[in-house]
Amino acid sequence: MSLEKSPRHEIAHLGHVELFTSEPERSLDFFVRVLGLTENGSHGDSVFLRTWDDYEHHSLKLTAAKTSGVGRTALRASSEEALKRRVAAVEERGMGIGWVDGDPGIGPTYLFRDPDGHEMEIYWETERYQPPEHLRPALKNQAQAYPGRGVSVRRLDHVNYLAKDAATNGGFVCEALGGRVTEQIQLDTGVISGQWTNFAQKSYDLVYTNDWTGSTGRLHHIAFATDTREDILRAADIALDNGVFIETGPHKHAIQQTFFLYVYEPGGNRIELCNPTARLIFAPDWEPVTWTEAERAKGQAWGLKTIASFHTHGTPPVDTPAQ
Amino acid sequence: MSLEKSPRHEIAHLGHVELFTSEPERSLDFFVRVLGLTENGSHGDSVFLRTWDDYEHHSLKLTAAKTSGVGRTALRASSEEALKRRVAAVEERGMGIGWVDGDPGIGPTYLFRDPDGHEMEIYWETERYQPPEHLRPALKNQAQAYPGRGVSVRRLDHVNYLAKDAATNGGFVCEALGGRVTEQIQLDTGVISGQWTNFAQKSYDLVYTNDWTGSTGRLHHIAFATDTREDILRAADIALDNGVFIETGPHKHAIQQTFFLYVYEPGGNRIELCNPTARLIFAPDWEPVTWTEAERAKGQAWGLKTIASFHTHGTPPVDTPAQ
Amino acid sequence: MSLEKSPRHEIAHLGHVELFTSEPERSLDFFVRVLGLTENGSHGDSVFLRTWDDYEHHSLKLTAAKTSGVGRTALRASSEEALKRRVAAVEERGMGIGWVDGDPGIGPTYLFRDPDGHEMEIYWETERYQPPEHLRPALKNQAQAYPGRGVSVRRLDHVNYLAKDAATNGGFVCEALGGRVTEQIQLDTGVISGQWTNFAQKSYDLVYTNDWTGSTGRLHHIAFATDTREDILRAADIALDNGVFIETGPHKHAIQQTFFLYVYEPGGNRIELCNPTARLIFAPDWEPVTWTEAERAKGQAWGLKTIASFHTHGTPPVDTPAQ
Amino acid sequence: MSLEKSPRHEIAHLGHVELFTSEPERSLDFFVRVLGLTENGSHGDSVFLRTWDDYEHHSLKLTAAKTSGVGRTALRASSEEALKRRVAAVEERGMGIGWVDGDPGIGPTYLFRDPDGHEMEIYWETERYQPPEHLRPALKNQAQAYPGRGVSVRRLDHVNYLAKDAATNGGFVCEALGGRVTEQIQLDTGVISGQWTNFAQKSYDLVYTNDWTGSTGRLHHIAFATDTREDILRAADIALDNGVFIETGPHKHAIQQTFFLYVYEPGGNRIELCNPTARLIFAPDWEPVTWTEAERAKGQAWGLKTIASFHTHGTPPVDTPAQ
């Protein structure tokens, strides 16, 4: 069977992501009061939450569960035809599960898994969010009024998965979904230990980094974008005074040059607050930037050493394998 | 009677200010939810409110009244002896009223008026604010936890009065209270139409500008300082989506170079949100900077024309005199 | 002849733009010293200049001329096939001129005109910029070292043309080049007086606004993006102390919500310094946001009135028609 | 002999500081091109440099020498009488050296040493800086045009000395010069290992931290204030692309809450770039904030661990004593 490489721009953007938490009340408080998301309904064990400038029904599906980790990641196709093509490409690779009832606000949804087992779904039809009166924005080119509550993140930005083999999964995103690797890490052994993939001009949307435990299907972090770097600095103060654990930052990544702050939400999942400044990837023939071990050893952009827990904390937690 | 000019540093800082509003509920909502102040008790028709880094009981006393305008401005003396000397200096000038019961958290308080009739009070003893558990800051050198609600202003910054004669009142602040004029406006007629006075390194604390209506005792605005200019930009978005009237800004004043945003609170009083960047006045022999009409005609620092309502809106409102 | 609408993503991005100036020395000083661009060669009457994160040979071609205005705008196609398709689509509409020798660093280049007569060119092959030693960036995912000189703009962001009929030209960009209208202004008469078009996630790349003089081929402004809003505020100070004329701003546009500052370069061309914060357009089925006259009358986002010269200053200057 | 404690506000501010370097050319380039200071004359082995908003002749005296370290720190008295009183107080404590010819722009200057042996001088008369035409600011309340070159620091902010015994020296600043301790570190042994002292509302001006080597007269760092936190972030990029060693930061200090970046200038001296946001000390009876070892173990405000070299790098270098 010959698998043709997918054309670009078949996936428009990351739609929403599901997060599991065994501390649903505290996690909800974190996302609503500390990050400034807005509730937009609930269903069963899940609460739907949205950032103020995501245009769909929700950005985050927070689901009470026995443990932490990531549930389904939803991707919006660029058109109905693109949806069909992507379903075919996924099925061709044997990763498909089938059509399912989508979340509220979402039309026909096709469920599948990436090679590492993370659940993903793809859809085309979507309802544009209609804010209630008290959340109506003053400017009509904005999805919802600016909340002015806590960090007030602008959008869901990206998902960073842990995977047994980053390159296999990054390859799947490129080949089946039309993504492209914009940056990656290559160890001295030749192993690709991390891949950042994007779907259009935003510099990355889905990221895979190797899971040191050899487990599958786990999460490194999900990220929300703020409007400014100052929002990240302010977020650090908000985290500090709300007893939110700050893992590392604020600082600037060398990879992708994102300004970042990493915190843990009460359910234990790592959350990145990120700001790209004005950086975008324009070159249609962008060559992946490959970072070596020696380059990574220099730490982040301004010299901050990569924190050790970046290599040991993922969700859900697993027993660390004997060395 | 020979009135000796006061030494410097007799007044430590602006303590708090009282604001009148005929819309007490809406004004309270504005200060708490939009600006991010914290309630700290109430008494009669007044609610006490504080910013997160003012160290005393309250920064603002919001009093329900028939109309808008400014009530008493409270100044903290630099020492008990300074308090006595200032009371003597005020009495010497015939502006004293007498000792009164101070607001909560404040010790013996001496009430007086400036030449234009604005009520002022001066005190030395004060209780340092002890935050309740849920408002305790993570860093012990901070008065209260950062609220992360609305604009989250840092401190009460200054009061800008309207006066029949700015220079007489600025002179009183200098001579009786030890203030100093850091900047002023001089019309082509020779009339001083505005004076900015300070008590220490902060570039201004009390400001007088001429009241075009010839009225006395009125208010141009009170100002709250934010930590950053970005906070001012964010404040503009918050005002926009909360239906708060933005009069002018954000922009940078030529005078004092303050980055500003002017809004009206629901009671009609003008509120400035301001940020000085890192500007301070260090020279002990600083000569007042005098701006001419021609210079003022250039507008604010980056060219924004001074808005007409700056010369016509004051509180409480008065019938404009026939021209 | 049936003209098929173009697919999306055929144009990758704005490559560079040519600007005419009758003050070549002073204009060059403005772009190099005040805006922080870097010279990268010259040819005849033209100097090539680049921003620190544009990846190609140059972002701006500054050409000495008898008067001001815009020369050719260069667009990079998304692939060689996309280039061929766009050339065919342009020729089909009778707007083509032909293949020409491109600027340094650019391969085969096809020259054409938009309906208003502005020269445009499209190309696929390009040389990736290789910085000399002293301009080599510390981070390998960046095109050139950060100059730290003047405003230090990050990239050429967009071109805003004046046109006899904005909608005809916006339509051409959409139909022949695969652009899409993200926002527009519709007068009470029904006339579309401005259209903002984009090629991917960046919210706009080419803009047309109606030329009140009825002239053709003129320029409203070209824009450079900064990394942060603070860079725009700093730029205002830099403009102020360098005697650069500030036309309006800093403020936030209602349309597209861009944070802006408008200045005139010494040749008379209007230059925008802009920052989008983190705003991007993600919806593949984004419906154009249409602003009415009544909405535009409210001014910019935070209430600044649109400056009158926005409707009267274009380059090159023309005699204003009698009313 | 009874030593009376000095009144407050006798010292107006830090005037300038002298820095030694064995790499005079490279250090000069660092201060001019990277930090954005302006040369203002030279004398012998010294070059005088000034920030754009310090109002006197120079902020920094850069002196070619065999090694690194700090020379004289110059303090401006609040008045001629204050100068006399401080000279008397210093002499009373046996720390005086005598009247010397001051630096250019400075009148009669009294030289003395702090208990640790750092040279200091105090003066009253000073010439206000008169910028040449090309450095004239657009706004008359500013000392010099904004340079727009490199970091473009606003002012010399503070000096942090290493001393055999921080408390003895901090005590000297308070008792002889009228300073006040705003914050300090107390080890579990009871030893005060660091004291931050100020002269007015600025939260600190002179700082002493214990020298682990037991040496005397050394420097921990001198600091320049930027206008904004964004300037600090931008400074990190400028340092990165200019090959300037970044020791730690950007981050926010827990002590004094200053936003910081530490770099080494080519002569080896540690330079802090700092921004206080809007923080000032207003309480005239401010009680020193004392940090314990346990509190310091939490690291900086947002959790960054204090870098080890903070406790081992000082200038001039000395042989580390055997443990």
Here the tokens at position A260 are 């970042």
Return the DSSP state at D101. -
Mutate to test the interface with C, among D38, D234, D238, D263 (most CBs of C within 10 A): D234
Peptide bond into A24 cis (omega under 30): no
Q: Is the pLDDT at A320 greater than 70, yes or no?
A: no
pLDDT of residue B320: 61
Closest CA–CA distance from residue D304 to any residue of chain A (Å): 7
**What's residue B229's pLDDT?**
98
- The DSSP output letter for D315 is B
Sheet holding A206-210, edge to edge: A246-252, A259-264, A270-275, A219-225, A155-163, A206-210, A192-198, A180-186, A289-292
**% of chain B at pLDDT higher than 90:** 95
Contacts of C229 in chain B (CB under 8 A): 230, 233
User: Is residue D230 within 8 angstroms of chain C, CB to CB?
Assistant: yes
pLDDT at B122: 98
- Helices and strands (DSSP H and E) totals, chain C: 5, 17
SS3 assignment for C198-237: ECCCCCCCEEEEECCCCCCCCEEEEEEECCCHHHHHHHHH
Supply φ then ψ for residue A80, to 5 degrees: -65, -40
State the smallest CA–CA distance between residue B20 and chain C in angstroms: 27
The C-alpha of D190 sits at a distance from chain B's nearest C-alpha, in angstroms, of 19
A261 contacts on D by Cβ (under 8 Å): 302
Instruction: Report whether pLDDT(A195) > 60.
Output: yes
C72 exposed, middle or buried (CB, 10 Å; 0-12, 13-18, 19+)? buried
Q: Kindly state whether residue C323 falls inside one of the protein's structural domains.
A: no
What does the pLDDT read at residue A319? 76
Q: For residue C128, is pLDDT > 70?
A: yes
Q: What is the pLDDT of residue B102?
A: 85
Do the Cβ atoms of A246 and D301 come within 8 Å?
no
Domain limits for position C97: 11-130+153-311
D317 belongs to a structural domain = no
Chain D 3-62, CB below 8 Å of chain B: which residues? Answer: 8-9, 12-13, 53, 55
In contact, A16 and A60? CB cutoff 8 Å: yes
pLDDT confidence of residue B7? 87
Q: pLDDT by residue (tens digit) across A115-148? A: 999 999 999 999 999 999 999 999 999 999 999 9
In the stretch 240-299 of chain D, residues with CB closer than 8 A to chain C read: 240-243
d(CA D210, nearest CA chain A) in Å? 26
A70-80 pLDDT, tens digit per residue, is 999 999 999 99
With a cut of 70, list the residues of chain D below it in pLDDT: 1-5, 320-323
Interface confidence (ipTM) of the complex: 0.96
- C307 CB near a chain B CB, below 8 Å? no
Express each pLDDT in A48-57 by its tens digit: 999 999 999 9
pLDDT at C4: 61
C183 has pLDDT over 70: yes
- Judged by a CB distance cut-off of 8 A, whether residue C229 touches chain B is yes
Q: Is residue A322 part of a domain?
A: no
Q: Which two tokens stand for residue D157?
A: 């902010």
Using alpha carbons, select from C38, C77, C78 the residue that is nearest to residue C60. C38
Reduced to 3 states (helix: H, G, I; strand: E, B; else coil), residue A305 is coil
Closest CA to B279 of C198, D255, D295, D278: D278
Q: Which residue of B has its CA nearest to A136?
A: B241
For residue B244, the tally of other CB atoms under 10 A from its CB is: 18
Looking at the DSSP bridge assignments, the partners of residue D224 are: D156, D273
Q: Which of B1, B179, B167 is nearest to B77 (CA)?
A: B179
What are the strands of the beta sheet with B259-264, ordered from one edge?
Answer: B246-252, B259-264, B270-275, B219-225, B155-163, B206-210, B192-198, B180-186, B289-292
Residue to test with chain A: of B152, B233, B241, most A Cβ within 10 A: B241
Cβ contacts of A102 within 8 Å, gap of 6 or more:
A74, A108, A109, A121, A123
Query: Is residue A133 a part of any domain in this protein?
Result: no
pLDDT computed for residue B220 by the predictor: 98
Looking at residue C248, its pLDDT comes to: 97
What 3 state SS string does A230-280 have?
Answer: HHHHHHHHHHHHCCCCEEEEEEECCCCCCEEEEEECCCCCEEEEEECCCCC
CATH code assigned at B266: 3.10.180.10
CB proximity list for C154: less than 8 A, separation 6 or greater: A277, A278, A279, C51, C52, C53, C224, C225, C226, C227
Interface contact flag, C240 B304, Cβ < 8 Å: no
Which residue of A51, A196, A273, A280 to mutate against C (max C Cβ within 10 Å)? A280
Which residue, among D272, D275, D282, would best test binding to B if mutated, counting the most B CBs under 10 Å from its CB? Answer: D282
Point out the residues of chain B with pLDDT beneath 70.
1-5, 320-323
Q: Is the pLDDT of residue A262 over 70?
A: yes
Q: How confident is the model at residue C285 (pLDDT cuts 50, 70, 90)?
A: very high
Please say whether the beta carbons of B130 and B136 come within 8 A. no
Chains touching A (at least 3 CB pairs under 8 A) are B, C, D
pLDDT value at position D1?
40
> What local confidence, expressed as pLDDT, does residue D323 receive?
42
Nearest CA in chain D to C142: D241
Cβ atoms of B265 and B223 within 8 Å: the answer is: no
Instruction: Check pLDDT > 90 for residue C273.
Output: yes
Nearest CB to C227: which of A139, A255, A277?
Answer: A277
pLDDT tens readout for residues A139-189: 999 999 999 999 999 999 999 999 999 999 999 999 999 999 999 999 999
Best B129, B282, B287 member to test D by mutation, with max D CBs in 10 Å, is B282
Between CA B74 and CA B106 the distance in angstroms is 10
Q: What is the mean pLDDT of residues C72-94?
A: 97
Q: Given an 8 Å threshold on Cβ–Cβ distance, is C240 in contact with D138?
A: yes
Spatial separation of the C-alpha atoms in residues B48 and D56, rounded to whole Å = 43
Predicted confidence (pLDDT) per residue in C2-23, tens digit: 456 678 899 999 999 999 999 9
pLDDT of residue D276: 95
B155 touches D: beta carbon within 8 Å? yes
Q: What is the arrangement of strands in the sheet containing A69-77, beginning at the earlier edge strand?
A: A38-43, A46-50, A60-64, A11-21, A69-77, A119-123, A109-113, A96-100
Residue B227 contacts D where some CB pair is shorter than 8 Å: yes
A142/C257 Cβ within 8 A = yes
> What is the pLDDT, as a whole number, of residue A322?
44
D277 contacts B227? CB cut-off 8 A = yes
H or E element in which residue B198 lies = strand B192-198
Paired residues of C23 in beta bridges: none
Q: How far apart are CA A152 and CA C141, in angstroms?
A: 29
Q: Would you state the pLDDT for residue C320?
A: 61
Chain C closest-CA separation from residue B16 CA (Å) = 29
Indicate whether A134 belongs to any domain. Answer: no
Output the furthest CA–CA distance in chain A (Å, rounded): 58
Instruction: Please report which residue ranges of chain B form alpha helices under DSSP H.
Output: 24-29, 80-92, 166-177, 229-241, 293-296
Residue A35: pLDDT band by 50, 70, 90 thresholds? very high
pLDDT of residue B136: 98
By the 8 A CB rule, do C122 and C87 touch? Answer: yes
Q: Which residues of B touch A234 (CB under 8 A)?
A: 148, 231
Give the chain C residue whose CA is nearest to the CA of A13. Answer: C282
Name which of D124, D136, D101, D106 is nearest D41 in CA terms.
D106
Closest CA to D259 of D280, D288, D230, D281: D230
Q: By CB neighbour count within 10 A (0-12 exposed, 13-18 middle, 19+ buried), where does D41 fall?
A: middle
D222 part of a folded domain: yes
Q: Is residue C95 part of a domain?
A: yes
Residues of B in contact with D282 (CB under 8 A): 12-13, 55, 76
Contact between chains at C238 and D149 (C-beta distance less than 8 A)? no
Phi, psi of D134 (to 5 degrees): -75, -10
pTM summary value:
0.97
Of residues A230, A250, A303, nearest to D302 (C-beta): A250
The count of structural domains within chain C is 1
Query: Number of helices (H) and strands (E), helices first, in chain D?
Result: 5, 17
- What's the mean per-residue pLDDT of chain C? 96
Q: List Cβ neighbours of B36 (8 Å cut-off, separation of 6 or more).
A: B51, B52, B147, B148, B149, B150, B151, B152, B153
Q: Tally Cβ neighbours within 10 Å of residue A297.
A: 9
Q: Judge whether A234 lies within some domain.
A: yes
User: What's the rounded Cα separation, in Å, for the pair D48 and D44?
Assistant: 11
pLDDT (mean) for A94-121? 96
Q: What is the pLDDT of residue D322?
A: 44
